Chains A and B, each alone.
Chain A
Amino acid sequence: MKSTEEILASIAGALGVDKSLVTVDSKYGDLDDWDSMGAMNLLLMLDKKYGVKVDMGDLAKINTAKGIIDMINKDQKN
């Protein structure tokens, strides 16, 4: 299991924002940099850093920080 703190830092890194701006409740649209480009950077982060591949149709799950945390930890468990 990856820690919530580590994943939030990864999200902030992918979005190019200070990690203090990203919390478990953060979601798409909350930050200027969490737009469609930000979503693509998150996909890249998930693939490169955690080896997580997001299925077509599951992209909505990565529109929230909580969704990303759940996805990473579920994938790591498998």
Chain B
Amino acid sequence: MSLTAFLSCVDYVLPEKKLTNEELCAGSQKWTPEKIHKKTGILERRIAAENETGLDLGEKSVEKLFAKNGIDKSTVDCLLFCTQTPDYKFPPNASILHSRLGLAKSCAAFDINLGCSGFPYCLWMAKSLILGGEASCILIVLADTLTKCCDPNDMVVTTIFGDAGSCALVTDGKKYGKKARILNSVVGTDGRGYSHLGFYSGFKTSQCAENDKFMKMNGPEVFNFTLQNVDGAIRESIAKNHLDISQIEFFFVHQANKFILDNIREKLQVDVARFPSNIERIGNTSCASVPILLGDWIDAGLIGKNSYSVACGFGVGFSWASTLLHFE
């Protein structure tokens, strides 16, 4: 009997503290709240507490998911934790969360070091494990606290990023709900982009400097990468599933910033109603971005039966992934 992978449920948490454009601009002569909104599409973003990490946010999102959906933790046989802001260089967040949740010893647990492309990549990975018969109930956790990596003097990054924790359950459909069937994906990498977006502190000590304690982003290079790759990847993933763009109800695309999102939407020639966005209130939340958007649309009952949606992420690496979901 052929196996199928399903997205069973998805949820998220946001930190309590809000950081508004007004607060960001206080004391700045060059920046105004209106300028930030115009450049990014963002009015406010959430900031993790000083001692709160992505692991904490991820854990809270899982507790919420388990409680709302009656998930028995003993049935989880794989935990994937997608993050670029782990508590430690090692051990992985997944190990620590495994302990906190009390998951079975037979459960695999490891981190995936990806950012904004993380969610569709995790769906692709989880589906592969299920179709390979290696797992049946996979907990994906996606959480980052990128605001802790932002140079407060670099308004280009400080205005964009927000913190969040999210999670999803991917299963073989036998035990839990079958919210959406995970169809085929397109994944890709252009490793030439590694130097244009990152946090360059690690074990390559000869190149670590005092100023490598913040993330760096070359905005024009990142934009150029999205311009040349993202809409094409989305189209390719739709075609790979023998569908037409007109059959796609919603495009859940990583909420990078409004400029990039508008450009992708225009290149796809898709109207605004089919291109959900929540960036105005929470900013760019890295790998949690797409699951938060998807969770909101699912909870609001906005996704039709027997409909298709795209989940697409792109970013650090450079990397990108686009997955089709069939809501049955």
Please indicate the chain B residues that have their CB under 8 angstroms from the CB of A57 in the complex: 192
Q: Which residues from A are CB-within-8-Å of B196?
A: 56
Q: Which of B4-12, B217-225, B280-288, B303-311 contacts A (4 or more CB under 8 A)?
A: B217-225
| Distance in angstroms between the alpha carbons of A40 and B184 in the assembled complex | 32
Q: A43-B224, A56-B196, A56-B225 are in contact. List 20 more A-B contacts (CB 8 A).
A: A36-B156, A36-B218, A36-B219, A36-B220, A37-B39, A37-B219, A37-B259, A39-B220, A40-B219, A40-B220, A40-B224, A43-B223, A43-B227, A44-B227, A53-B228, A54-B224, A56-B190, A56-B192, A56-B221, A59-B224
| Residue B263 at the chain A interface, CB threshold 8 Å | yes
A residues in contact with B39, CB < 8 Å: 37
Chain B residues engaging chain A, CB cutoff 8 angstroms: 39, 156, 190, 192-193, 196, 218-221, 223-225, 227-228, 259, 263
Instruction: Please give me the residue from chain A that is nearest to B156 by CB atom.
Output: A36
User: Considering the complex, which residues of chain A in the window 29-68 have a beta carbon less than 8 Å from any beta carbon of chain B?
Assistant: 36-37, 39-40, 43-44, 47, 53-54, 56-57, 59
Instruction: Looking at the assembled complex, report how far the CB atom of A35 sits from the nearest CB atom of chain B, in whole angstroms.
Output: 9
Measured CA separation A74–B200 after assembly (Å): 36
Q: List 3 tightest A-B contacts by C-beta distance, closest first.
A: A39-B220, A36-B219, A40-B223
Q: How many A-B residue pairs have CB under 8 A?
A: 35
Chain A residues with Cβ below 8 Å from B221 are: 56, 59
**A47 CA / B263 CA spacing, docked (Å):** 11
Write the nearest CB–CB distance from A52 to chain B, whole angstroms: 11
Which residues of chain A are near B263, meaning CB under 8 Å?
44
- Chain B residue numbers with a CB within 8 Å of A56 are 190, 192-193, 196, 221, 224-225
Chain A contributes a number of interface residues (CB within 8 A of B) equal to 12
Residue contact B220 to A59, C-beta cutoff 8 Å = yes
In the assembly, what is the distance between CA of A41 and CA of B265, in Å?
Answer: 16
**Can you name 11 A-B pairs with beta carbons within 8 Å?**
A36-B156, A36-B218, A36-B219, A39-B219, A39-B220, A40-B224, A43-B220, A53-B228, A56-B192, A56-B193, A57-B192
Asked if B220 and A47 make an inter-chain contact with CB atoms under 8 angstroms apart, the answer reads: no
Inter-chain contacts of B223 with A (CB < 8 A): 40, 43
Closest to B318 in A: A56
In the bound complex, CA of A47 to CA of B156 (Å): 23
Cα(A11)–Cα(B228), bound, Å:
20
The complex places the Cα of A37 from the Cα of B224 at a distance, in Å, of 12
Closest to B217 in A: A36
